[in-house]
Amino acid sequence: MAARRFDISGMWWVLLGLALVTGVVVLGFARARKRTSALRMMATQFGLVYSPVVPMDVRVLPLPLLSQGDKQRFRNLLQGRWGGIDLQEFDLAIVEEEGRSSSTKWYSCAVAQVPAWCRTISIHAENPVARAAERVLEHHVPFESEQFQRAFHVDCADDRFATAFVDPRMMSWLLAHGRGWTFEVAGCWALCYRKLVRPEELVPLLGTLRGFTDHIPRVVSELYGLDGAR
């Protein structure tokens, strides 16, 4: 009798587990569908084209974020002309695998071409502890604005390029509008991203990308060319 009661109880647990898994799957599916339909609506509203699949030519852009992690998953592409520039916006998952477990981080990314051939440069929020350590131990790219150096960290193998790229006007714009975003530039591509945002928050992402590309100094193309020939 006791064994039978145990069996029934065990079966209930199995059923509960199945229901839970089904619920999570259905909820995830519903959320993905909701995001997809919101993005489709956004695309229509802003004259962009929606595609659930991100083509290979975007996936292989030379931007460091796109090759981070052990695996990358791309989806929900919006592309077209917005605010006077041709751009592409998509969701990107960076998957890190450690043994049998893995972690996934989702980002909202926007990329556009820039009128210069750039070295690889990354501009992101500064970490005060890392900054203190770097000042003592490592090399860093010096900038004239202490305020900028406290707020942002610039990674670039070519200091001269970093100085040309982040001029006082760019610094001023980043301090006013770039906080909370990460920027990467490589070749003739610029990327702006942050953790996955809701569809209605995509306009600030696109606007920030446009502002960033607008502020790339003219002298960068003068010094480094337009096509990587220099």
Q: Does 143 bind another protein (CB under 8 A)?
A: yes
**Which three-class secondary structure state does DSSP give residue 152?**
strand
Q: Does 172 bind another protein (CB under 8 A)?
A: yes
Candidates 20-28, 56-64, 163-171, 192-200: pick the segment binding another protein (CB under 8 A): 163-171
Report the nearest approach of another protein to the CB of residue 171 (Å).
5
Q: Does 176 bind another protein (CB under 8 A)?
A: yes
Report the nearest approach of another protein to the CB of residue 126 (Å).
14
Q: Does 89 bind another protein (CB under 8 A)?
A: no
Q: Does 169 bind another protein (CB under 8 A)?
A: yes
> Which amino acid is residue 153, in one-letter code?
H
List Cβ neighbours of 53 (8 Å cut-off, separation of 6 or more). Answer: 74, 75, 77
**Residue of 36, 113, 120, 145 that binds another protein (CB under 8 A):** 145
Tokens of 141: 């790219």
Please, which residue, 97 or 144, has the CB nearer to another protein?
144
Query: Parallel, antiparallel, or unpaired for β 49-51 and 71-82?
Result: antiparallel
Candidates 9-17, 20-28, 89-97, 138-146: pick the segment binding another protein (CB under 8 A): 138-146
Contact at 8 Å (CB) between 106 and 91?
A: yes
Q: Does 96 bind another protein (CB under 8 A)?
A: no
Q: Does 100 bind another protein (CB under 8 A)?
A: no
Please, which residue, 40 or 124, has the CB nearer to another protein?
124
**Residue of 93, 173, 187, 226 that binds another protein (CB under 8 A):** 173
Neighbours of 99 (CB within 10 A): 5
Report the nearest approach of another protein to the CB of residue 146 (Å).
7
Please, which residue, 153 or 210, has the CB nearer to another protein?
210
Report the nearest approach of another protein to the CB of residue 136 (Å).
9
What's the first-to-final CA gap in the chain, in angstroms?
84
Of 27, 28, 50, the C-alpha closest to 38 is: 50
CA trace torsion 41, 42, 44, 50 (10° rounding): -90
List Cβ neighbours of 108 (8 Å cut-off, separation of 6 or more). Answer: 89, 90, 91, 92, 193, 194, 195, 196, 197, 201, 202, 205
List Cβ neighbours of 70 (8 Å cut-off, separation of 6 or more). Answer: 95, 96, 97, 102
Q: Does 163 bind another protein (CB under 8 A)?
A: yes
Under the rule (CB under 8 A), what is the footprint of another protein?
83, 137, 139, 142-148, 159-160, 163-164, 167-169, 171-173, 175-177, 207, 210-211, 214-215, 217-219, 222-223
